[in-house]
Amino acid sequence: MYLWIRVDLNDPHLIVSGRVSGVLLVSRSESSNIRFAIGPFLVHTEQMDSGEFEFSVPVGHALPSEGETLRIGVAVRFQWSSNGTSENTVVHISSMSISGGFSLEWDRSPNCAEIADVNLIEDEGGEIISVYSICSDDITDPQSLEVRAHSSDNSTLLAYGEGGLLMIEPEDEASGTAEVFVQVIDEVGNSWTDSFFVEVEPVMDPPEFGYVPGILYIELGESGVIVPEIFDPDTEALSITTSKSWASVNDTGEIVLQPVETGEHLLTISVTDGNSMITRDMVIIVTSKPDLLVESMEIRIGGLEADDLENGDVLEVIGFIRNQGRATAQNVSFYCMLNGILVGTGEISQLDPGGLSMATCDIQLIGNSEVAIFTVEIDGTNSIEETIEGNNVHSVEFPIVDPNTGPDDGNASSTIVALSIVAILFSLAALQMSPKSPKKEFQRKK
């Protein structure tokens, strides 16, 4: 025994509305009806009653196959008994339609060729895959297919769709393997899915210089430090060298400069990561300055160094000037002062490095001061740029005595007084020790 089941997806209905008018007094309405048929199938029988009628019946089973003609028939059956009197009966069909049908289209999923694994090289760009040439669909045009994609490792590469293009973009300075999942979707939502692997091969990038000064000034005898900015994303073990023996590199990567001669020097800095090397040139300008120093002072009278000074003395104030710098000093001015008052000036035309010269001023002591402070100052106008500016002044202090009461007068007076006292005492002692004269009695006359 076989059971046939028909599933009607469309479920169409025949919908009819109308009315019956006229005289039905003698007709047998229970035996009179309106019949509706589709093709060979009677789909509905409507009893004929006076007035309006309307019905809706399923007719999916009666619809013809695709390509055949749809035929709908309407018939009326009357049955009556009559005594011969005429009667009029009219059946009006106001509307008749079939509803509930819809069109079914079978849409298959897109079909694409398998995407092979992709090999890329770090920092050399990604890849664009067009689905127009590898995918097809039974309804949707290839130009209208949509691509969606994502990567299993976004730190290595990004994968995404732009319309019908599959975009693969490696991240900067990244390498490794990631799986890309891709989905191709047609206009009704059917999809094709696949995955493939993308390998990004690593590349050892060369180091790169950031900021390095182009010119650097250093005073001879001093040291300078350069901290170059160097970038290398692949290694931290960088080797730094220089073209000058006086430019050394310490453990922290700083370049210590200790030049040994003045002038303009081209310094080449080289950096290597073991695979590639980069260089950067810079100019080191080494300068030198004099350093003037008043080493000592002398006060002379008649060419001899004085120990004591008196008012009225004509003196030579001599300052011994040394250049302890590394450059020659030209036109070195000096000033001589007594108790803060300028009493003489002069100039040393040239003083070579390490050289010693005398700054001499002639002064006559005039005044009532008991102390004289002599000062020698060089380069008082600061016209010479020196290594050290705070050693250009030197002072000495001398006591001054009155020429009328020289320093030995008090001692001489004391000596004279002492000798006088001794002489008086000696005279008195001599008188006591001398012979006595005869004593004559004095007689008083009466």
Whether the per-residue pLDDT at 210 is higher than 70: the answer is yes
Give the per-residue pLDDT at 317. Answer: 94
Domain end call among 149, 174, 201: 201
Whether the per-residue pLDDT at 337 is higher than 60: the answer is yes
Residue 208 pLDDT level (bands cut at 50, 70, 90): confident
User: Does any domain span residue 2?
Assistant: no
What's the gap between Cα 252 and its chain centre?
21
Torsion 120-126-132-135 (CA) sign: positive
Whether the per-residue pLDDT at 406 is higher than 80: the answer is no
Give the per-residue pLDDT at 359. Answer: 93
CA distance 156 to 126: 12
Whether the per-residue pLDDT at 435 is higher than 80: the answer is no
Same domain, 27 and 51: yes
What's the gap between Cα 77 and its chain centre?
98
Whether the per-residue pLDDT at 434 is higher than 80: the answer is no
CA distance 362 to 313: 10
Residue 8 pLDDT level (bands cut at 50, 70, 90): low
User: Does any domain span residue 271?
Assistant: yes
Residue 2 pLDDT level (bands cut at 50, 70, 90): low
Domain end call among 99, 119, 140: 99
Same domain, 118 and 183: yes
User: Does any domain span residue 368?
Assistant: yes
Give the per-residue pLDDT at 247. Answer: 94
Whether the per-residue pLDDT at 294 is higher than 90: the answer is yes
CA distance 61 to 186: 34
Give 388's Cβ-side CA count (13 Å radius): 15
SS3 for 240? strand
CATH number of the domain where residue 254 is located: 2.60.40.10
Give the per-residue pLDDT at 215. Answer: 92
Residues 6+ positions from 334 with CB-CB distance below 8 Å:
319, 321, 345, 346, 347, 348, 359, 376, 377, 378, 379, 380
Q: What is the mean pLDDT of residues 271-281?
A: 90
CA distance 8 to 58: 10
User: Does any domain span residue 121?
Assistant: yes
Whether the per-residue pLDDT at 321 is higher than 80: the answer is yes
* Percent of residues, the chain, with pLDDT higher than 70: 84
CA distance 254 to 189: 63
Q: What is the mean pLDDT of residues 278-304?
A: 91
SS3 for 339? coil
The two structure tokens encoding residue 114: 């398998």
Q: Which of 136-140, 219-223, 308-312, 428-432 has the lowest mean pLDDT?
A: 428-432
349: buried, middle or exposed (CB in 10 Å: 19+, 13-18, 0-12)?
A: exposed
Angle at 373 between CA 367 and CA 378, to 5 degrees: 120
Q: Which of 11-25, 74-88, 141-155, 428-442 has the lowest mean pLDDT?
A: 428-442
User: Does any domain span residue 221?
Assistant: yes
Residues 6+ positions from 150 with CB-CB distance below 8 Å:
159, 160, 180, 181
What's the gap between Cα 123 and its chain centre?
22
Radius of gyration over every alpha carbon of the chain, rounded to an integer in angstroms: 66
Where is mean pLDDT largest: 61-75, 342-356, 392-406? 342-356
Whether the per-residue pLDDT at 355 is higher than 90: the answer is yes
Give the per-residue pLDDT at 204. Answer: 80
The 3-class SS string of 247-313 reads EEECCCCCEEECCCCCEEEEEEEEEECCCCEEEEEEEEEEECCCCEEEEEEEEEECCEECCCEECCC
The two structure tokens encoding residue 90: 């009219």
Same domain, 127 and 184: yes
Same domain, 80 and 118: no
376: buried, middle or exposed (CB in 10 Å: 19+, 13-18, 0-12)?
A: buried
Contact of 328 with 357, CB cutoff 8 Å: no
Residue-number span of the structural domain to which 179 is assigned: 111-201
Domain end call among 249, 269, 287: 287
Same domain, 298 and 374: yes
Same domain, 40 and 90: yes
Which is nearest to 152 in space by CA: 174, 179, 184, 130? 179
- The residue that leads in pLDDT, 282 or 235, is 282
Residue 416 pLDDT level (bands cut at 50, 70, 90): very low
Give the per-residue pLDDT at 231. Answer: 86
Same domain, 85 and 149: no
Q: Which of 65-69, 262-266, 358-362, 372-376 has the lowest mean pLDDT?
A: 65-69
Same domain, 271 and 348: no
Give the per-residue pLDDT at 281. Answer: 94
- The residue that leads in pLDDT, 440 or 104, is 104
Q: Strand 215-219 to strand 277-287: parallel, antiparallel, or no bridges (unpaired)?
A: parallel
Residue 325 pLDDT level (bands cut at 50, 70, 90): confident
Same domain, 166 and 90: no
User: Does any domain span residue 228?
Assistant: yes
Give the per-residue pLDDT at 30. Answer: 67
SS3 for 438? coil
Between the alpha carbon of residue 195 and those of residues 149, 198, 199, the distances in Å are 9, 10, 13
- Give residue 126's identity as a one-letter amino acid code: G
CA distance 15 to 97: 5
Whether the per-residue pLDDT at 420 is higher than 70: the answer is no
User: Does any domain span residue 256?
Assistant: yes
CATH number of the domain where residue 50 is located: 2.60.120.260
Q: What is the mean pLDDT of residues 80-105?
A: 78
The pLDDT tens digits for 11-37 are 789 999 999 887 665 445 567 889 999
Same domain, 91 and 131: no
Whether the per-residue pLDDT at 196 is higher than 50: the answer is yes
Domain count across the chain: 4
Same domain, 54 and 138: no
Whether the per-residue pLDDT at 440 is higher than 50: the answer is no
User: Does any domain span residue 407?
Assistant: no
